[in-house]
Amino acid sequence: MDGSSCLDRLAASVPELHSAWLEEAKSPDADLDLPMVAAAVLAGLVVEVRREHADVDLQPLFRELEAAVQSTIDRYLLVVGFLEDLQNELIRSEFGLDDFADLFGPFTADAWAKVADMWAGRVTPAAFNAFVENGAPPGSTG
């Protein structure tokens, strides 16, 4: 599966997010044909949707993400693109890094921790890259 269809599936999993994603796609400056740019846009929209719709159910998004992040085909885009950008968006927002943590499945939680640990210097870039490439099982160290 190509990255754009993976991101489209994530966006489509939550009606409010899907509407925002489709609206963004109409923008002449969207660049959603570039997967890493699209992942960053989607991450920003997740935070925006949560801000605008406090009661939005994001569980379907994170269920879809949990299944997709286990695939070697999309893991790089989802971990380095979407999850890392979601952390950046949360850091710049009124939300905290742990605000979505209760929605994560085990692979997503492990990937989330690996991104944070890599930026904090607790995981080497080589170990992080190995995780992204190989999809080490949840709870693994590195």
Mean pLDDT computed over every residue of the chain: 90
Per-residue pLDDT band at 3 (split at 50, 70, 90): low
pLDDT tens-digit series, residues 55-87: 999 999 999 999 998 877 889 999 999 999 999
Residues 6+ apart with CB under 8 A from 65: 10, 78, 82, 105, 108
Q: Give the number of other CB atoms < 10 A from CB of residue 38.
A: 25
What Rg value do the Cα atoms of the chain yield, rounded?
Answer: 14
84-116 residues labelled b (16+ CB within 10 A) or e (exposed): bbbbbbbeeeeeeeeebeebbbebbbbbbbbbb
pLDDT tens-digit series, residues 103-131: 999 999 999 999 999 999 999 998 898 88
Percent of the chain with pLDDT over 70: 92
Segment 89-97 mean pLDDT: 94
